[in-house]
Amino acid sequence: MDPQAMAAMPYLLEPFTIGDYLLKSKLRESSVSIVWKAETKSSGEEVAVKQVFLSKLNKHLANCLDCELNFLSSVNHPNIIRLLQVLQSESCLFLVLEFCAGGNLASYIRRYGRVQEQLARRFMQQLGAGLEVLQSHHIIHRDLKPEFSGMHPDFASKSFYRIVIVWHYFSLVAPPTLQLAIPILLNILLLGSKDDLVLKIADFGLSRSLDPGNYAQTVCGSPLYMAPEVLQFQSYDEKVDMWSLGAILFELLNGHPPFHGRTSVQLLQNIKSSTCLPFSKLILPRLHPDCVDMCSRLLSVNPGLALLLSINFIHS
């Protein structure tokens, strides 16, 4: 099917063709994109195709898309999703990506619950290796999480608008740009069998480049995995990804995120008032002290500790 004609019918359910790819079924959908399971006609290889509707992108998301394309087209790493090809029509962009048949980290946790410490360490070393590549390219991901949805059920979008109103009332400066995470593609995908799983960092839809010494201000991500400085509308750098890494490690070990709250304000209060991480009393005695210390430091409200610690963790 012609890409322009197809773009006008984004909810078509029957298989159709774009280039050498037969788009067979819809995997995920958001307000700006659809991810399809597809097959390469010439080889039969399964791939994923992310269809982005360019007219629905605001300036911020358009910049993030440029960052995603530039980064993925320049790297080839086992823990980063591979970009195979980019196709474009008048109104859509199609990112052909490797297909990860192992599913995603969120469904893995839901299926198996908390994981053993040895497996959690292996998963985190893989994520750390991927983040090391991001940092070497001066890229911050800003939305690392095992969950699919950009918003947890505890959160209503009105709570974020309430924060913006408070910011306007008490501050003489304009608030930073607010951009809630939107579900485009699952962020951490799995490749391989249960005994030999490889984690892939995916969905760079909220990523951006950030030169050393510079700071970002856009509030984006998923609240349960967002660093406190982002929740507080403070300027931030690549260390916010380390907080997300710590939240994921805690969830792997416990089966749930470390901090909760029905609103982002309550979530931030719970983070600030915490004197120690809420590890399960049944799980904590079985964990190696180094693992607990690693998780605690990654989830430190002092972000300076996290980046230094991550270097040791990646190579440990």
CB 127 within 8 A of CB 224: no
pLDDT of residue 259: 95
The sign one gets for the Cα dihedral 291, 150, 93, 17 is positive
Provide the percentage of residues in the chain whose pLDDT is more than 90: 58
**Tokens 């019918």 label which residue?**
9
- Measured CA to CA, the distance from residue 245 to residue 280 in angstroms comes to 19
Q: Could you give the angle at the alpha carbon of 86 between the alpha carbons of 85 and 87, nearest 5°?
A: 125
Which conformational region is residue 190 in: left (phi greater than 0), alpha (psi within -120 to 50 degrees), or beta?
beta
Type and span of the H or E element at 298: helix 289-298
CB 105 within 8 A of CB 113: no
Q: Reply yes or no on whether 143 is catalytic.
A: yes
Type and span of the H or E element at 128: helix 117-136
Residues of the chain with pLDDT under 70: 1-14, 147-186, 302-316
Output the pTM of the full model: 0.82
CB 185 within 8 A of CB 205: yes
pLDDT of residue 174: 40
pLDDT of residue 112: 87
pLDDT of residue 179: 45
pLDDT, tens digit, for every residue of 174-227? 444 444 444 344 689 999 887 789 999 998 888 999 999 999 999 988 899 999
Neighbours of 15 (CB within 10 A): 13
DSSP for residue 81: P
Domains delineated in the chain: 3-98 (3.30.200.20), 105-315 (1.10.510.10)
Identify the active-site residue in 2, 20, 66, 143: 143
